[in-house]
Amino acid sequence: MNQGKLIIFSAPSGSGKTTIVKEMLKKIPELAFSVSACTRQPREGEIHGKDYYFISEEEFIKAIENDEFVEWEMVYSGKYYGTLRSEIERIWKEGNHVVFDVDVEGGLSLKEKFGEKALGIFVMPPSLEVLESRLRARGSESEESLKMRVDKAEEELEYAGAFDIVIQNNELSIALQEAESAIRRFLQA
Protein backbone atom coordinates (compact mmCIF):
# COMPACT_ATOMS: atom_id res chain seq x y z
CA MET A 1 0.00 0.00 0.00
CA ASN A 2 2.23 2.85 -1.13
CA GLN A 3 0.59 4.77 -3.95
CA GLY A 4 -1.50 7.90 -3.28
CA LYS A 5 -1.65 10.35 -0.40
CA LEU A 6 -4.03 10.50 2.52
CA ILE A 7 -6.02 13.43 3.92
CA ILE A 8 -7.18 12.85 7.49
CA PHE A 9 -9.96 14.99 8.93
CA SER A 10 -10.35 14.54 12.68
CA ALA A 11 -12.35 16.37 15.28
CA PRO A 12 -14.74 15.76 18.10
CA SER A 13 -18.21 14.70 17.00
CA GLY A 14 -20.23 17.80 16.05
CA SER A 15 -17.27 19.95 14.97
CA GLY A 16 -18.30 20.05 11.32
CA LYS A 17 -15.68 17.69 9.88
CA THR A 18 -18.21 15.63 7.92
CA THR A 19 -19.65 18.76 6.30
CA ILE A 20 -16.14 19.92 5.34
CA VAL A 21 -15.19 16.47 3.99
CA LYS A 22 -18.32 16.32 1.80
CA GLU A 23 -17.50 19.75 0.32
CA MET A 24 -13.85 18.80 -0.32
CA LEU A 25 -14.99 15.69 -2.20
CA LYS A 26 -17.07 17.96 -4.49
CA LYS A 27 -14.29 20.52 -5.02
CA ILE A 28 -11.26 18.24 -5.48
CA PRO A 29 -12.09 15.41 -7.90
CA GLU A 30 -8.95 13.36 -7.20
CA LEU A 31 -10.13 12.71 -3.63
CA ALA A 32 -12.17 9.65 -2.67
CA PHE A 33 -13.84 8.96 0.67
CA SER A 34 -12.68 6.06 2.81
CA VAL A 35 -15.80 4.44 4.20
CA SER A 36 -15.18 3.35 7.79
CA ALA A 37 -16.66 0.26 9.38
CA CYS A 38 -18.61 0.54 12.62
CA THR A 39 -20.84 -1.48 14.91
CA ARG A 40 -23.34 1.26 15.77
CA GLN A 41 -26.79 1.50 14.24
CA PRO A 42 -27.22 3.82 11.22
CA ARG A 43 -28.59 7.30 11.86
CA GLU A 44 -31.53 8.43 9.77
CA GLY A 45 -30.45 8.88 6.14
CA GLU A 46 -27.15 7.00 6.49
CA ILE A 47 -26.48 4.36 3.85
CA HIS A 48 -24.50 1.13 4.30
CA GLY A 49 -21.40 1.23 2.08
CA LYS A 50 -21.64 5.00 1.53
CA ASP A 51 -21.55 6.55 5.00
CA TYR A 52 -20.25 3.51 6.90
CA TYR A 53 -20.07 -0.24 6.62
CA PHE A 54 -22.51 -1.10 9.40
CA ILE A 55 -21.46 -4.52 10.69
CA SER A 56 -22.10 -6.58 13.80
CA GLU A 57 -19.69 -6.64 16.70
CA GLU A 58 -18.93 -10.30 15.87
CA GLU A 59 -18.04 -9.41 12.25
CA PHE A 60 -15.88 -6.51 13.45
CA ILE A 61 -13.95 -8.69 15.91
CA LYS A 62 -13.40 -11.33 13.23
CA ALA A 63 -12.00 -8.61 10.90
CA ILE A 64 -9.63 -7.51 13.70
CA GLU A 65 -8.44 -11.09 14.12
CA ASN A 66 -7.87 -11.33 10.34
CA ASP A 67 -5.81 -8.09 10.34
CA GLU A 68 -8.26 -6.40 7.94
CA PHE A 69 -8.01 -2.98 9.65
CA VAL A 70 -5.32 -0.34 9.25
CA GLU A 71 -6.60 1.12 12.50
CA TRP A 72 -9.55 0.45 14.79
CA GLU A 73 -10.79 1.27 18.24
CA MET A 74 -13.70 0.99 20.61
CA VAL A 75 -14.80 4.62 20.61
CA TYR A 76 -17.69 4.19 23.04
CA SER A 77 -18.58 1.14 25.09
CA GLY A 78 -19.41 -1.63 22.63
CA LYS A 79 -19.14 0.72 19.61
CA TYR A 80 -16.22 -0.17 17.36
CA TYR A 81 -14.98 1.97 14.47
CA GLY A 82 -12.16 1.21 12.06
CA THR A 83 -10.50 1.75 8.68
CA LEU A 84 -10.44 -1.27 6.41
CA ARG A 85 -7.18 -1.88 4.57
CA SER A 86 -9.25 -2.85 1.50
CA GLU A 87 -10.79 0.67 1.38
CA ILE A 88 -7.41 2.38 1.05
CA GLU A 89 -6.26 -0.16 -1.54
CA ARG A 90 -9.49 0.31 -3.54
CA ILE A 91 -9.10 4.10 -3.65
CA TRP A 92 -5.42 4.00 -4.59
CA LYS A 93 -6.11 1.40 -7.26
CA GLU A 94 -8.60 3.89 -8.77
CA GLY A 95 -5.78 6.49 -8.91
CA ASN A 96 -7.22 8.73 -6.19
CA HIS A 97 -6.07 10.12 -2.85
CA VAL A 98 -7.84 8.91 0.30
CA VAL A 99 -9.94 11.20 2.51
CA PHE A 100 -10.79 10.10 6.03
CA ASP A 101 -13.47 11.43 8.38
CA VAL A 102 -12.40 9.88 11.69
CA ASP A 103 -12.35 10.62 15.38
CA VAL A 104 -9.21 12.04 16.97
CA GLU A 105 -7.69 8.76 18.12
CA GLY A 106 -8.22 7.20 14.69
CA GLY A 107 -6.71 10.28 13.02
CA LEU A 108 -3.60 10.15 15.19
CA SER A 109 -3.21 6.46 14.51
CA LEU A 110 -3.47 6.95 10.73
CA LYS A 111 -1.03 9.88 10.81
CA GLU A 112 1.48 7.82 12.77
CA LYS A 113 1.14 4.87 10.38
CA PHE A 114 1.42 6.85 7.13
CA GLY A 115 3.69 9.73 8.21
CA GLU A 116 4.59 12.21 5.45
CA LYS A 117 2.12 10.60 3.00
CA ALA A 118 -0.71 11.86 5.23
CA LEU A 119 -1.99 15.35 6.00
CA GLY A 120 -3.69 15.50 9.39
CA ILE A 121 -6.33 18.24 9.66
CA PHE A 122 -8.01 18.94 13.00
CA VAL A 123 -11.37 20.77 12.82
CA MET A 124 -11.80 22.95 15.90
CA PRO A 125 -15.36 23.84 16.97
CA PRO A 126 -16.02 27.44 18.03
CA SER A 127 -16.64 26.23 21.61
CA LEU A 128 -17.88 23.23 23.58
CA GLU A 129 -21.23 24.99 23.95
CA VAL A 130 -21.63 25.33 20.17
CA LEU A 131 -20.53 21.73 19.71
CA GLU A 132 -23.14 20.56 22.25
CA SER A 133 -25.88 22.55 20.52
CA ARG A 134 -24.89 21.03 17.13
CA LEU A 135 -25.12 17.55 18.63
CA ARG A 136 -28.53 18.37 20.14
CA ALA A 137 -29.74 19.66 16.77
CA ARG A 138 -29.04 16.25 15.22
CA GLY A 139 -31.78 14.82 17.40
CA SER A 140 -30.01 11.45 17.44
CA GLU A 141 -28.55 11.52 20.94
CA SER A 142 -30.00 10.63 24.32
CA GLU A 143 -28.99 12.90 27.21
CA GLU A 144 -26.59 10.17 28.36
CA SER A 145 -24.90 9.74 24.96
CA LEU A 146 -24.82 13.53 24.50
CA LYS A 147 -22.97 13.96 27.80
CA MET A 148 -20.58 11.14 26.82
CA ARG A 149 -19.81 12.82 23.45
CA VAL A 150 -19.27 16.26 25.03
CA ASP A 151 -16.98 14.80 27.71
CA LYS A 152 -15.00 12.94 25.02
CA ALA A 153 -14.82 16.13 22.92
CA GLU A 154 -13.30 18.02 25.82
CA GLU A 155 -10.51 15.42 26.00
CA GLU A 156 -10.04 15.30 22.21
CA LEU A 157 -9.56 19.08 21.91
CA GLU A 158 -6.29 18.67 23.81
CA TYR A 159 -4.82 16.74 20.84
CA ALA A 160 -5.35 19.47 18.21
CA GLY A 161 -1.65 20.36 18.26
CA ALA A 162 -0.67 16.82 17.23
CA PHE A 163 -2.16 17.41 13.76
CA ASP A 164 -0.46 19.17 10.83
CA ILE A 165 -3.14 21.85 10.55
CA VAL A 166 -5.90 23.15 12.83
CA ILE A 167 -8.89 24.73 11.10
CA GLN A 168 -11.14 26.82 13.33
CA ASN A 169 -14.73 26.16 12.20
CA ASN A 170 -16.35 29.40 13.37
CA GLU A 171 -17.61 30.26 9.89
CA LEU A 172 -18.05 27.37 7.48
CA SER A 173 -17.16 29.28 4.29
CA ILE A 174 -13.77 30.29 5.74
CA ALA A 175 -13.11 26.78 7.09
CA LEU A 176 -13.86 25.36 3.63
CA GLN A 177 -11.44 27.77 1.94
CA GLU A 178 -8.68 26.93 4.44
CA ALA A 179 -9.23 23.19 4.01
CA GLU A 180 -9.21 23.36 0.21
CA SER A 181 -6.03 25.47 0.13
CA ALA A 182 -4.22 23.15 2.54
CA ILE A 183 -5.21 20.01 0.63
CA ARG A 184 -4.24 21.44 -2.77
CA ARG A 185 -0.82 22.51 -1.41
CA PHE A 186 -0.25 19.06 0.09
CA LEU A 187 -1.24 17.20 -3.07
CA GLN A 188 1.07 19.35 -5.20
CA ALA A 189 4.07 18.89 -2.88
CATH number of the structural domain spanning residue 183: 3.40.50.300
Q: Structural domain tally of the chain?
A: 1
**Residue 1 within any structural domain of the chain:** no
- Asked if residue 44 lies in contact with residue 136, where contact means CB atoms within 8 angstroms, the answer is no
> β-strands 118-124, 97-102: how paired?
unpaired
Mean pLDDT of 181-185: 98
Structure pTM? 0.86
Over the Cα atoms of the chain, what is R_g? 16
Residue 121 falls within a domain, yes or no? Answer: yes
State which residues form the domain around 91.
6-188
pLDDT of 1 > 50? The answer is no
d(CA 7, CA 48): 22
Q: Is 90 exposed, middle or buried (0-12, 13-18, 19+ CB in 10 A)?
A: middle
Q: What is the mean pLDDT of residues 36-62?
A: 93
Quick: pLDDT tens for 124-172.
Answer: 998 888 877 877 777 767 788 778 778 888 889 999 999 999 999 999 9
